[in-house]
Amino acid sequence: MSFSSFSEFLSMGGHGLYVWLSYALGLIVILVNLVVPLMERSQLIAQLKRRLQREKQSP
């Protein structure tokens, strides 16, 4: 399928809204799947550091 202009490419024959929304939603899901584990890892490391500090302080 070839398009004669960029705006025709964006409109995708009248289905552009659905096409680009599905691409955006897919990208958001992928980014969330990458970012959330990294954030949870950082929180876990901080929690373990606090726990280690508490254990060192207790007699």
- Domain map of the chain by residue range? 16-57
Is the pLDDT at 21 greater than 80? The verdict is: yes
DSSP string, the chain: ---SSHHHHHHGGGTHHHHHHHHHHHHHHHHHHHHHHHHHHHHHHHHHHHHHHHHHH--
Is the pLDDT at 11 greater than 70? The verdict is: yes
Its pTM stands at 0.69
Averaged over 29-41, what is the pLDDT?
A: 97
Q: What is the band of 1 on the pLDDT scale with cuts at 50, 70, 90?
A: low
- Tell me what pLDDT residue 58 has: 77
Is the pLDDT at 13 greater than 70? The verdict is: yes
- Tell me what pLDDT residue 40 has: 97
